């Protein structure tokens, strides 16, 4: 039996814009099992970004259940949410959010510095190098974001 890593039940999120209320998420429910690959698709304005912001613990729903590994996100503090984002969630933003004056290897090392698992500088460098090697960027370690293509 596979483990449920994300559980969403009757999730709702709305925004008030002036006098209008926009219902971005209208009671969605689903679960994701360990090892599953999931794609979020929909038309413009269908709530994809809102859902991803909630899933990434960057925003809170108005109502409903959201659990990661059996932990309810609703009552977590800012620090606890930051820990969840650091340990359980990976985001690739459309704008990349890389530090412009920092090399590729340093950009990859940065999140590891905030890991709750204590790592030596050598372990951090090795993990970052292996990650860049997996995506065929080991020859671009010392390049800054402006020296990389959008696909890189």
The reported pLDDT for the residue numbered 91 is 74
The reported pLDDT for the residue numbered 93 is 67
Same domain, 62 and 16: yes
d(CA 42, CA 47): 8
Across-strand partners of 114?
none
pLDDT of 45 > 90? The answer is no
Same domain, 14 and 64: yes
pLDDT of 19 > 70? The answer is yes
Question: 104-121 b/e with 16+ CB inside 10 Å = b?
Answer: bbbbbbeebeeeeeeeee
d(CA 145, CA 104): 7
Query: Radius of gyration over alpha carbons of the chain, in Å?
Result: 18
pLDDT, one tens digit per residue, over 56-103 is: 999 999 999 999 999 999 989 999 998 898 888 877 666 667 888 999
In a domain, 47, yes or no: yes
Same domain, 72 and 119: no
Q: Averaged over 37-42, what is the pLDDT?
A: 90
Same domain, 64 and 13: yes
Q: Is-contact 150 104, C-beta < 8 A?
A: no
Same domain, 120 and 50: no
CATH number of the domain within which 9 lies? 3.40.50.300
pLDDT of 145 > 80? The answer is yes
Task: Please state the domain count of the chain.
Answer: 2
DSSP 135: T
Residue percentage of the chain with pLDDT more than 90:
65
Give me 41's structure tokens. 């698709």
In a domain, 152, yes or no: no
- Model confidence at 32, pLDDT cuts 50, 70, 90, reads very high
């Amino acid at each position: 039996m596979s483990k449920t890593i994300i559980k969403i039940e009757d999730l709702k999120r709305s925004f008030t814009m002036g006098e209008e209320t926009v219902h971005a998420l209208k009671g969605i429910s689903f679960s994701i099992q360990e090892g599953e690959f999931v794609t979020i698709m929909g038309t413009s304005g269908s709530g994809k970004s809102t859902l991803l912001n909630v899933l990434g613990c960057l925003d809170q729903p108005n109502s409903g259940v959201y659990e990661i590994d059996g932990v309810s996100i609703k009552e977590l503090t800012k620090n606890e949410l930051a820990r969840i984002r650091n340990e359980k969630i990976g985001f690739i933003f459309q704008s990349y959010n890389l530090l412009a004056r920092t090399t590729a290897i340093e950009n990859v090392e940065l999140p590891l510095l905030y890991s709750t698992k204590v790592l030596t500088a050598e372990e951090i460098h090795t993990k970052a190098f292996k990650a860049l090697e997996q995506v065929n960027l080991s020859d671009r370690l010392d390049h800054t974001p402006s020296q990389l293509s959008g696909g890189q």
